Structure 1
Amino acid sequence: MHNANPVDTPMDKSCVLSKKLYPKTEEEKKCMTKIPYASAVGSLMYAMMRTRPDLCFAVGMVSRYQNNPEPNHWVAVKRILKYLKGTSDLALCYHGESLRLVGYSDADGSRDRDERKSTLGYAFYWEALRCYHLVQQEVALHLFVYHGSRIYCLYISSPRSYLVKEIR
């Protein structure tokens, strides 16, 4: 990875990962046993939790395949590492005097090909510092499909209420 070219995003939008992409031949299985997939994903998780919330979605996707990774899964992990290489000298600088809580949320619309569930995520910022975030697969997909963003707004309102009480 030392000579790798940096990329602009941690995950390519055309990248589709699946449990069905497991090593099929003995040669692929043998090759994958030599690759430190779980170690790399664990290191990325540590970075994501401590300093890089921009990695949440991509690391969440590749971490689902630690049990039986395939070469395409490893390509996705290497892309995240290339993204880190290209963004290591960037920083967010915030200026301002307002004390406000801001929340953002998003859903990917069933990108998970194995479970056919949406991945939901939200993040709350106080004083421009991330104070709470979550990324997870939707448990009740039928609620999300039929009720759309109303259910999702209820989904994120609970941690928002908690954070408002804590800040006051």
Structure 2
Amino acid sequence: MENCRPVQTPLELQPNYDVTKECIVNAKPYRELVGSLMYACLTTRPDIFAAVNFYSQFQTDATEVLWVGLKRVLRYLEGTFHLGLWFKGISDVPLLRYTDADFTNRPGRKSVRWHLFEMYGVAVCWATKK
């Protein structure tokens, strides 16, 4: 993926999650890539969290289409390598919390909620739950 063509977003607007095709979990390192990307989003790249969360749902029945979508996250990281967490402390507000929820937009899925805490303008804690 070193010489890949970068993309502007880690996830397509309406990703294809068709699991009726042949499973590739044992043929390609799908789970390993999900784990590596999960580590990245928990430590320095929270901007890929939604995409990693989406693709982690298919670790037992991933298809070639999902594998291509997961590699899109790598293409996004290649194009945004200069981004990361910057701790500048630029705000006078000591603590802020942001929250949001997705009240399940697909049948058979659960709703997702998330929160983010900022201290003096710097993201210090974030999480998402089903």
User: Among the aligned pairs, what percent are the same residue?
Assistant: 33
Please tell me whether residue 35 in structure 1 is matched to residue 48 in structure 2. Answer: no
Secondary structure of the 1:39 match is helix
Partner of residue 120, structure 1: 113
Partner of residue 96, structure 2: 102
Q: How big is the shift at 1:124? A: 0.7
Residues 25, 60 of structure 2: 8 Å contact kept: no
- Change beyond 3 A, Cα 1:35–1:76: same
Flag as ranges the 4+ runs of structure 1 deviating above 6 A: none
Q: How big is the shift at 1:97? A: 5.4
Q: For 1:95 and 1:32, locate their aligned partners in 2 and report how far apart those are by CA, in whole Å.
A: 43
Residues 22, 69 of structure 1: 8 Å contact kept: no
> In proportion to residue count, which structure has more helix?
1
Q: Identify unmatched segments of 5+ residues in structure 2.
A: none
Residues 25, 59 of structure 2: 8 Å contact kept: no
Please tell me whether residue 50 in structure 1 is matched to residue 43 in structure 2. Answer: yes
Output one character per residue of 1:14-67: Cα deviation in whole Å (capped at 9) or x when no partner.
21426xx143xxxx44x5532110010000000011111111111111111111
Q: For 2:84 and 2:41, locate their aligned partners in 1 and report how far apart those are by CA, in whole Å.
A: 15
> In proportion to residue count, which structure has more strand?
2
How many residue pairs end up in the alignment?
Answer: 129
Partner of residue 136, structure 1: 129
Letter of the 1:134 counterpart: A
Q: For 1:42 and 1:91, locate their aligned partners in 2 and report how far apart those are by CA, in whole Å.
A: 19
Residues 16, 65 of structure 2: 8 Å contact kept: no
Secondary structure of the 1:33 match is coil
Structure (1 or 2) with the larger CA radius of gyration: 1
Q: For 2:8 and 2:89, locate their aligned partners in 1 and report how far apart those are by CA, in whole Å.
A: 25
Q: Identify unmatched segments of 5+ residues in structure 1.
A: 138-168
Partner of residue 17, structure 1: 17
Output one character per residue of 1:101-147: Cα deviation in whole Å (capped at 9) or x when no partner.
112222233134432x221111111123322211121xxxxxxxxxx
TM-score where L is the length of structure 2: 0.85
Q: How big is the shift at 1:83? A: 0.7
Please tell me whether residue 59 in structure 1 is matched to residue 83 in structure 2. Answer: no
Q: How big is the shift at 1:81? A: 0.7
RMSD: 2.1
